[in-house]
Structures are given as structure tokens and as C-alpha cells.
């Protein structure tokens, strides 16, 4: 695992966007795994700006998102507003789990199939939950799990409650599994702020265990972590 130290959220956003943009520019075909939440917002803002400046075509790009709430389109709307609307990507090249599907089990299988049909994920962008979750894979999730429905923990519900001012906050979500995420060729994890410091310490200095799902990334051969000062504040070498 490589750790790239940045000073703050702005630098993190810029570097992440530059990296993802360079991959988009240099690939003939690319499947990007995308994340939601507060952390990648700046990355999407910069990517949207670069795409306009360089008139970047997205005809060779497919996106697959990590997760969506059950009974909600919250992450569909987030992606549309913060990224897709700004880059001119064709709707049928963007993929998210359908949280309002009638048959959720069938939807999980369909989503796995979508990823296989696309040939797998080239670069997966991840955030990290305060409890160390990745996607919505909460503590205790099997490391070999595939796309599945999860009951969200109180910690995750309260961390994300602020995003639900217009609708009731769902207590369940569909998420790519840890096994699904680990099959990505490359992973870029973004961590910003002191609230992520404990999870980051476990990631780098803890033992691999399913109580802190992100620790599984120590298993993956190609992970880069971009972390700002706040997120690194509990790492031993920093103190």
C-alpha cells in the first residue's frame, strides 16, 4: 500500500482528480469504480473542470458506483449533480445499484453481472467510513462477499444523517461486496479529516480483521491512499 501525504482536502481533491483524469486520457477503454460521500466531492469538481477545459470525451469510459440506499435514488442524484451532468457521459455508460428494485436479491446479481460484462473495474476510488467501512461493507462483513444488501450500523447512519433533509434516511443499502472491490485492478482510497484518523491508523498499523473492513486492502497488490494531515494525525510516524 502506498501512502501519499497531502496537507488538506483541497490538495487531496486536486491530486485525486489529476490522477483519475490522466487515466481517462491515456486509456482506450476504462471502467472507473466511483464513490460517494463528502470526501470525493472536490475530486469530482476538479474532474468536471478539467473535462470542460480539455474537451475530454467520455465515450470510452464506463462508471460503476459502489453503493446505493434501498428505497432511494440519493446516490444516483449525487452522481448526476456532482459529476455526470458536467462531463457529458452517456447515461447508459454509468451504473449504480438500483435501490428501488422490487427484487433486491436479483438486483445484486444483476449488478455483479454488469461488472463482469464490462470486463471488471480498472480503477476503484474509495472513501472510508469512520468505522473503517468501504462502500457500505460494515464491520463484520465477509472478505469474500459479493454485491449484497446491508443493514447500516448506527455509526454510519448518524455520520450520514445530514444528507437526508428531504427524505427519510434509509436503514439499508445495496453495496458492492468486499470480494467485488478487491477484484479491481487498482484502488485509490481518499481519507480526509480527523474523523478518519482511527480508521486510517487501523488500516496502516492494525492487524487485518473484518471488524475494520478497510484493513482487507492490505491484501490487494495495487492500493494508493491519499490522506491529508487530519486523517494521518494518529499514525505513529506522524506523532
Stretch of 6-14, 86-94, 124-132, 206-214 lying at the interface with ligand GLP (CB under 6 A): 124-132
Which of 12, 60, 22 lies closest to 230 in space, CA to CA?
A: 12
Contact pick of 33, 97, 127, 213 for ligand GLP (by CB under 6 A): 127
Mark 20-39 with x for binding to ligand GLP (rule: CB under 6 A) and - for no binding: ---------------xxxxx
Mark 150-189 with x for binding to ligand GLP (rule: CB under 6 A) and - for no binding: ------x---x-----------------------------
Candidates 67, 68, 107, 122; catalytic one: 67
Q: How far is the CB of 55 from ligand GLP (least distance, A)?
A: 30
Q: Give the residue with the Cβ less far from ligand GLP, 127 or 230.
A: 127
Residue 131 designated active-site: yes
Q: Is 128 in the site for ligand GLP (CB under 6 A)?
A: yes
Burial grade of 126 (CB within 10 A; 0-12, 13-18, 19 or more)? buried
Residue 67 designated active-site: yes
Candidates 46, 62, 76, 133; catalytic one: 133
Please identify the residue of the shown chain whose CB is closest to the bound ligand GLP. Answer: 127
Grid coordinates representing 105 are: 436479491
Q: Is 97 in the site for ligand GLP (CB under 6 A)?
A: no
Mark 45-84 with x for binding to ligand GLP (rule: CB under 6 A) and - for no binding: ---------------------xx-----------------
Candidates 65, 76, 95, 131; catalytic one: 131
Which positions touch ligand GLP (CB under 6 A)? 35-39, 66-67, 127-129, 135-136, 156, 160
Amino acid at each position: 500500500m502506498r501512502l501519499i501525504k497531502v496537507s488538506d482536502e483541497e490538495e487531496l481533491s486536486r491530486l485525486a482528480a489529476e490522477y483519475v483524469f490522466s487515466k481517462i486520457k491515456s486509456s482506450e477503454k476504462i471502467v472507473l469504480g466511483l464513490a460517494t460521500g463528502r470526501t470525493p466531492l472536490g475530486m469530482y469538481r476538479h474532474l468536471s473542470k478539467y473535462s470542460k477545459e480539455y474537451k475530454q470525451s467520455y465515450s470510452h469510459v464506463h462508471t460503476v458506483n459502489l453503493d446505493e440506499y434501498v428505497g432511494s435514488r440519493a446516490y444516483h442524484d449525487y452522481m448526476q449533480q456532482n459529476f455526470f451532468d458536467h462531463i457529458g457521459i452517456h447515461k447508459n455508460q454509468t451504473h449504480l445499484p438500483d435501490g428501488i428494485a422490487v427484487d433486491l436479491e436479483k438486483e445484486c446479481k444483476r449488478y455483479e453481472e454488469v461488472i463482469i460484462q464490462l470486463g471488471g473495474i480498472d480503477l476503484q476510488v474509495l472513501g472510508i467510513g469512520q468505522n473503517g467501512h468501504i462502500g457500505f461493507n460494515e464491520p463484520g462483513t465477509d472478505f469474500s462477499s459479493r454485491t449484497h444488501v446491508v443493514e447500516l450500523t448506527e455509526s454510519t447512519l448518524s455520520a450520514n444523517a445530514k444528507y437526508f433533509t428531504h427524505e427519510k434516511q434509509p436503514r439499508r443499502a445495496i453495496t458492492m461486496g468486499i470480494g467485488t472491490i478487491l477484484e479491481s485492478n487498482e484502488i485509490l482510497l481518499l481519507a480526509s479529516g480527523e474523523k478518519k484518523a482511527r480508521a486510517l491508523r487501523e488500516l496502516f498499523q492494525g492487524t487485518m480483521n473484518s471488524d475494520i473492513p478497510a484493513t482487507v486492502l492490505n491484501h490487494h497488490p495495487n492500493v494508493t491512499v491519499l490522506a491529508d494531515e487530519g486523517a494521518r494525525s494518529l499514525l505513529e510516524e506522524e506523532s
